[in-house]
Amino acid sequence: MALLSDLVNLNLSDTTDKVVAEYIWIGGSGMDLRSKARTLPAPVNDPKKLPKWNYDGSSTGQALGEDSEVILYPQAIFKDPFRRGNNILVMCDAYTPAGEPIPTNNRYNAAKIFSHPQVLAQEPWYGIEQEYTLLKKDVKWPIGWPTGGYPGPQGPYYCGVGADKAFGRDIVDSHYKACLYAGINISGINGEVMPGQWEFQVGPAVGISAADELWVARYILERITEIAGVVLTFDPKPIQGDWNGAGAHTNYSIKSMRRDGGFDVIKKAIENLKLRHKEHIAAYGEGNDRRLTGRHETADINTFTWGVANRGASVRVGRDTEKEGKGYFEDRRPASNMDPYVVTSMIAETTILWKP
């Protein structure tokens, strides 16, 4: 008698050329990931060769019941770490049957910015530090914490090792390897300051691919926590009080910043970010006011600051960048639940296209 695990892990390529494509999209809340699978007659590695598909937008908060059809346009392909073989994950965005992007399709506007000739010429690079918290399924309280109670104060947990400091490492390492398998440019992981909180980094990635990769990395993490029976939250301040929040620090550079004399370009870009601070904050994630308090390695939400090696600033410049006179900077304002399509394209727009 075959075990369920045996059937789940069947290698389809032994008996058929057919493959399974898991189509992924973002639901109506802007954070809820959805997916469904379809059979393809043969392996595909170009999203342009994949068929469009539809779904019931009235069940995702993206259409009315009397006109509920929403069309998925495949945009990026990744290897499927769950089904493996030639099976794929497909990141999609959503359109009306008439071909118009639906209101929650933030990828469409991001693609317009990233295809602008001035932006293409500057080749924007991103590295996104995605923080998240793992919760017990039944009580929605961080794993490793006593139910209804609190662990010892912050200090030993950041990059900590040991059963009393690191909670959920099996999930984190599984996610790390699954992302590498999928072809996501995941560059590292670490335990965070609050126990039960972790971080992974995606990048460096160019243009819109950074956001595609981060969304699929989030999807893979959701699937792994589903298997593990643990709840994943991207809430920017999951526990009130003297505990760190969760962000999505976004590291950024363009070609002129990476060349000699780039530090002057960086300072001009930071000045532009300062002038558009309110617009960026409004687009940097829900509930960010609970996180950006001026405490716990954050700047106050109402004040823009920047500094070298200053983790209490809105924007941090690294010591190496200052020393070499070129490099990148880190926008520390985005919340963990930010939409990377919005954040990455907005940074590019403000620093390359926007004129004060």
Helix (H, G, I), strand (E, B) or coil at 293: strand
Below-50 pLDDT ranges, the chain: none
Summarised one tens digit per residue, pLDDT across range 203-247 is 999 999 999 999 999 999 999 999 999 999 999 999 999 999 999
> What's the pLDDT score for residue 218?
98
Q: What is the pLDDT of residue 297?
A: 86
The secondary structure element, H or E, covering residue 303 is none
How confident is the model at residue 65, as a pLDDT?
73
Q: Which pLDDT does position 18 carry in this prediction?
A: 96
pLDDT digits (tens, 9 = 90+) for 167-185: 999 999 999 999 999 999 9
Q: Which residues of 223-253 are buried (b: 16+ CB within 10 A; e: fewer)?
A: bbbeebebbbbbbbbbbeeebbbbbbbbbbb
- The CA-atom distances, in angstroms, between 40 and each of 13, 86, 88, 181, 218 are 13, 11, 10, 21, 24
Report, in this order, helix, strand and coil percent for the chain, each rounded to 5.
Answer: 30, 25, 40
